[in-house]
Amino acid sequence: MRTQPTRRHVPDAKRVRVVADVPLSFYDRGMTRSDRYVARDQRRGRGANSRDAGRYERFRQVDDSDGWDMREDMPVLNTQVTVERPRSVINHISSPDLSFDRTLNPYRGCEHGCIYCFARPSHAWLGLSPGLDFETRLVARPEAPEVLARELRARRYKVAPIAIGTNTDPYQPIERDRSIMRACLSVLQEFRHPVAIATKGTLIERDIDILSDMAARNLVKVGITITTLDPDLNRRMEPRVPSPARRLATIRRLSDAGIPVRVMLSPIVPGLIDAEIEPILTAARDAGAQAATWAMLRLPLEVAPLWEAWMDEHYPDRKSRVMSKLRDMHGGKVYDAQWFKRTRGEGAYAALIAQRFTKARKRFGLDGDFPPLDCTAFRPPPRAGDQLSLF
């Protein structure tokens, strides 16, 4: 069932004008001024500041005056959720720089609103804005658990760890009411299927009962992302993500429950967050993390202009330094999508960050890794009417 959309949000009695035959897509123009800027009082608790169309749209929309000399107060952008009924939920990938070959996403879009999120461009596939639409126009997949169970029962299926949270966060706020992630976990538990989870959401604590049982059988590992320990920067950059202190408490609870948990410093923003590498690792170790990983800031496609607009609004004095270091790491570009370079960059500054992280991780005892998850225990549970095995 689809939710009813609210009316179009256009500031100060403006209408939307469609512009055709645009020679360059907005993310190639080097622009930080948006055609569809949304005023701050309409986007409280959001990361992006615009609703520009994605790269696949033939036309772009521009907010324009409707000719009436009057001010109209527009409502705050609310979260809208649409239901999708997927045919499949296991996504097979072949990226050589990743440690997994399949993923699962209970949701499309993410209400956390992290301005740097490299998954934002995926919303363009839906004809939606990678900006504010990515945070406010979400897609839930309530039938994902049933579809997952069906795919795991397929005779041709070969077991390997499924990664959840690599695109959008499975423990974002709407999971509290919909519990799609918990239902997917229950399926994986029943099938004794290994899973790796990445999240910023403290709602994962709700599922400790399932996770601890799976951890006892070496079927799960968890990564908690902490980007900064500064609460103010956290609110600006990750507006609907729990505070750093709260996420550290989640690491403690997971660790105390016997669940393997690592801290993920991702992304490291040069010139803004790079000074926090050692303090974050110290805090994570003290909270019970057993390992640590990192990744550099990535600005693919539409994320680049969204990030630059965010810097203009929140940290204009640091923008030049941040963007200069990114270009130094990517051959003069703000992003290079080549395997193995996209998450770390290259050059002197990238090598310095890698060296600092490696030394700090070793010093704090976070340089180990978890053993491979168990793929041998996988067994589809019997269904009603199935012939039971004698062995």
pLDDT digits (tens, 9 = 90+) for 10-47: 344 444 454 444 433 344 444 445 678 898 989 999 99
Does residue 18 lie in a domain region? no
> CA-to-CA distance for 381 and 338, rounded, in angstroms?
41
Asked if residue 277 is part of any domain, the answer here is yes
Residue 387 lies in a domain: no
Q: Is residue 158 part of a domain?
A: yes
Position 383 confidence tier, pLDDT thresholds 50, 70, 90? confident
Domain that holds residue 184: 83-112+137-363
Cβ–Cβ < 8 Å for 124, 52: no
Distance CA 114, CA 234 (A): 9
**pTM, entire model:** 0.89
Q: State pLDDT tens for residues 220-260.
A: 999 999 999 999 999 999 999 999 999 999 999 999 999 99
Q: How many domains does the chain have?
A: 1
What's the pLDDT at 75?
A: 82
The domain that holds 280 is classified in CATH as: 3.80.30.30
Question: Does 60 reside within a domain?
Answer: no
Long-range contacts of 25-34, Cβ-Cβ distance < 8 Å, separation of 24 or more:
25/55, 26/52, 26/53, 26/60, 26/302, 26/305, 27/55, 27/301, 27/302, 27/304, 27/305, 29/305, 30/305, 31/305, 32/305, 32/308, 32/309, 32/311, 32/312, 33/309, 34/131, 34/305, 34/309
Task: Tell me the mean pLDDT in the region 336-357.
Answer: 96
Closest by Cα among 247, 113, 251, 228 to 174: 113
In a domain, 259, yes or no: yes
386 part of a folded domain: no
Residue 89 falls inside a structural domain: yes
Within the chain, strands assigned E span 14-19, 60-65, 80-83, 91-92, 102-104, 107-108, 137-140, 162-164, 195-199, 220-225, 261-268, 291-296
